[in-house]
Amino acid sequence: MGKGLSKRGSVRKIGFIGLGNMGMAMARNLIKAGFTLTVYDIERPLMDKMKAVGAQTSESPAGISKVSDLVWMQMGQEHMSAVLSGEQGVLKGANPGTILIDGNNPNSLDYGLPQYKQATDRGLLYLDATVSNAPRSARQATLSMMVGGDKNLFEKNLKLFNTMASNVFYMGPPGSGHKAKLLSNMIQKTQMRCLSEMMTLISSMGIDVKRILQKLRTSTSRSWVMDRAIMALNMTDNERKEFEPPHFDESPGPTVNKTARFVEVGLGIQLGHNLNISLPLTSAVNEIGDSYASRLNQTIVSSYNKEPEDAKYPLRPITLDASENDYLSDQELAKISLGSSIQVDTNIVTSIINKTLLSLNIQAVSEGITLANEMCIELNLLLEALSTTACASPALDNAKIISDMEPEMRHQYEPGGNAWMKSRSLLHAGYTATNIGHSLGQRLPLTSLNLELQKSTLGIPACKLASIIMAYTIAKNK
């Protein structure tokens, strides 16, 4: 039966291709679990690191597939063609019945399906298994994993998945894992741009951005993205320089990916267009030009993709004064004037940012859900999976509650109802934020757009859904 763990099923020998921040940690966990592992990466030093902990190495993807029952590909979609079907690709060496698993993020709407056909035409088995969360989660085997393909094949290999992930979801037929990842990243990147806009506003007011975000970690606008932003702000100036984007007239440094990590936003918009679905906030995120907000956003993205949670970048303890979390009521918020007190009263600023960002997060989630409804993915399952990924937030949690709600219960939050009418007061925060930004010469394009969307919600399905989630959120927190 070989050296591997036959008690885990027919898979005993695993090949792993791609030893980046995520792949290296995932491969190490397979070694720890006792699997026989053969690895390949274009960077020889990375293979040497795995060899030192018990892995075998191969000179090519074909060499890996010759000796493996299962081949996991985690090297980035830009290398997929060469790795799978090149002269020394996986298909050249794989025996019939070999399982191929594609863990890469999608870079096109049909990504994964051609590869699935290539594999199955040769008698191979194929699953797409995308992962979410940071390298630290990969090291701790607490990733979230969304899998598409044959359900029986998924179930036979569930213990293998659990070796690397603490949350594993079967999403449906081939391509479903990639679809779920597209939606997760689309929502996450939209939330990130919105947060960057709010951080820009806070900074322009002369207030410590980190202090406000730390207070917001106990609020309804908190998110996985916000935690990462705080982590980036906790870096020293010298640490942050490694990840800062260049000035406008400079070329990107080695740690900044010039082809921004917003490909899923573009794909989501393209899919929405194909399905005749309006995604106004997501589209605006994709069209925003270079600015402090987008540059700040790139710093956050680059930093968390370089293992910022290790000892070099500790997340420093946060202590909060409970009295500082008593946000202003809607009535108090409506009375705010643009006086100098706004720039020194952090409670007022926190309240404005919290409610404005909450509305933006809800709109981002609603656009993702509206798109998902047309993608043949079970919505409740998708929302459960997304709640464990990098797009997690109270906005997403409340969206799931609304999705599970019986129609007669949900009706009270529909446009025109009492709960919906009360939630309209939340617009005051957005207007206040844009007025403050205007007085400081700071544009807030996403906030301004969202205000217009929320004023007339009935024409756009995603906006109607956002207004329902907002009404429920406000009523729940009264």
pLDDT digits (tens, 9 = 90+) for 123-172: 999 999 999 987 888 999 999 999 999 999 999 999 999 999 999 999 99
Print the domain residue range for 43. 6-174
Q: Mean pLDDT, to the nearest integer, of 457-475? A: 88
Whether residues 96 and 192 fall in one domain: no
CA distance 106 to 246: 27
Judged against a pLDDT cut of 80, whether residue 285 lies above it is answered with: yes
Q: pTM score, two decimals? A: 0.86
SS3 string, 281-316, reads HHHHHHHCCCCHHHHHHHHHHHHHCCCCCCCCCCCC
In 48-164, where do the E strands start and end? 56-57, 70-73, 99-102, 125-132, 143-148
Judge whether 62 lies within some domain.
Answer: yes
Residues 390-435: pLDDT tens digits? Answer: 899 999 999 999 999 999 999 999 888 888 888 887 788 888 899 8
Q: Are residues 108 and 210 in the same domain?
A: no
**Is the pLDDT at 261 greater than 60, yes or no?**
no
Q: In which residue are the tokens 């996985």 written?
A: 224
pLDDT at residue 257 is higher than 80? no
**Residue 204 predicted with pLDDT over 90:** no
As a whole number, mean pLDDT of residues 18-45 equals 94
Is the pLDDT assigned to residue 317 strictly greater than 50? no
Angle (CA) 3-7-13 rounded to 5° is: 40
230 versus 74: the higher-pLDDT residue is: 74
Residues 84-117 pLDDT 10s: 999 999 999 999 999 999 999 888 888 888 899 9
- Would 261 be classed as within a structural domain? yes
On whether residue 99 sits in a domain, the answer given is yes
**The domain that contains 330 carries what CATH number?**
1.10.1040
What's the CATH code of the domain at 154? Answer: 3.40.50.720
* 154 and 225 part of one domain: no
- Coil, helix or strand at residue 125: strand
Q: In this structure, are 64 and 210 located in the same domain?
A: no
Tell me: pLDDT of 313 over 50.
no
Least confident of 188-202, 223-237, 340-354, 399-413: 340-354
For 306-333, what is the mean pLDDT? Answer: 42
* One-character DSSP codes across 312-368: TS--------GGGG-PPPHHHHHT--SSGGGGT-HHHHHHHHHHHHHHHHHHHHHHH
Q: Is 17 exposed, middle or buried (CB count within 10 Å of its CB: 0-12, 13-18, 19+)?
A: buried
For the beta carbon of residue 126, count every other beta carbon within 10 angstroms: 22
Per the residue annotation, which of 181, 189, 215, 355 is the catalytic one? 181
Residue 322 domain-assigned (yes or no)? yes
Per-residue pLDDT at 332: 58
Instruction: Write down the pLDDT at residue 396.
Output: 95
Unique residue bearing structure tokens 């199955």: 120
Q: How many domains does the chain have?
A: 2
Q: Is 181 a catalytic residue?
A: yes
* Token representation of residue 457: 């919600």
Angle between helices 346-372 and 176-204 (to 10 degrees): 160
Considering the domain architecture, whether residues 21 and 82 belong to the same structural domain is answered as yes
- Residue 334 binned pLDDT confidence (cut-offs 50, 70, 90): low
- 112 and 235 co-located in one domain: no
Buried b / exposed e over 356-377, threshold 16 CB at 10 Å, is bbbbbbbbbbbbbbbbbbebeb
245 pLDDT above the threshold of 90: no
- For residue 1, is it within any domain? no
249 and 373 co-located in one domain: yes
Position 200 scores a pLDDT of 87
CB distance 194 to 184 below 8 Å: no
| Domain's final residue, options 156, 174, 192 | 174
- Residue finishing a domain among 121, 153, 174: 174
Q: Are 192 and 361 in contact (CB under 8 A)?
A: no
Taking the CB of residue 408, how many other CB atoms lie within 10 A of it? 7
Residues 130 and 147 in one domain: yes
Tokens linked to 100: 């191929």
Asked if residue 168 and residue 198 are part of one domain, the reply reads: no
Domain stop point among 174, 192, 216? 174
Contact 61, 94 (CB under 8 A): no
Residues 96 and 225 in one domain: no
Distance between CA atoms of residues 357 and 223, nearest Å: 10
pLDDT band per the 50, 70, 90 thresholds, residue 322: very low
Rounded-to-integer distance, Cα 362 and Cα 358, Å: 6
Cα-based torsion angle of the residue sequence 254, 259, 263, 267 in order, rounded to the nearest 10 degrees: -160
Residues 293, 389: one domain? yes
Instruction: Give residue 151's pLDDT.
Output: 96
Are 52 and 104 in contact by the 8 Å Cβ rule? The answer is: no
Answer whether residue 333 shows pLDDT above 60: no
Q: Chain-wide mean pLDDT for the chain?
A: 82
Q: CA nearest 20: which of 52, 57, 49, 62?
A: 49
296 contact partners, CB below 8 Å, separation of at least 6: 196, 199, 200
Q: What pLDDT, on the 0 to 100 scale, is given for residue 292?
A: 55
Asked if the structure places residue 255 within a domain, the reply is yes
Does 308 score more than 50 pLDDT? no
Report the Cα 179 to chain-centroid distance in Å: 13
Task: List, in sequence order, every beta strand (DSSP E) within 18-111.
Answer: 36-40, 56-57, 70-73, 99-102
Indicate if 62 and 188 belong to the same structural domain: no
Q: Is the pLDDT of residue 71 over 50?
A: yes
Residue 122 lies in a domain: yes
Kindly state whether residue 199 falls inside one of the protein's structural domains: yes
* Beta strands at 125-132 and 143-148: parallel, antiparallel or unpaired: antiparallel
What is the model's pLDDT at position 263? 80
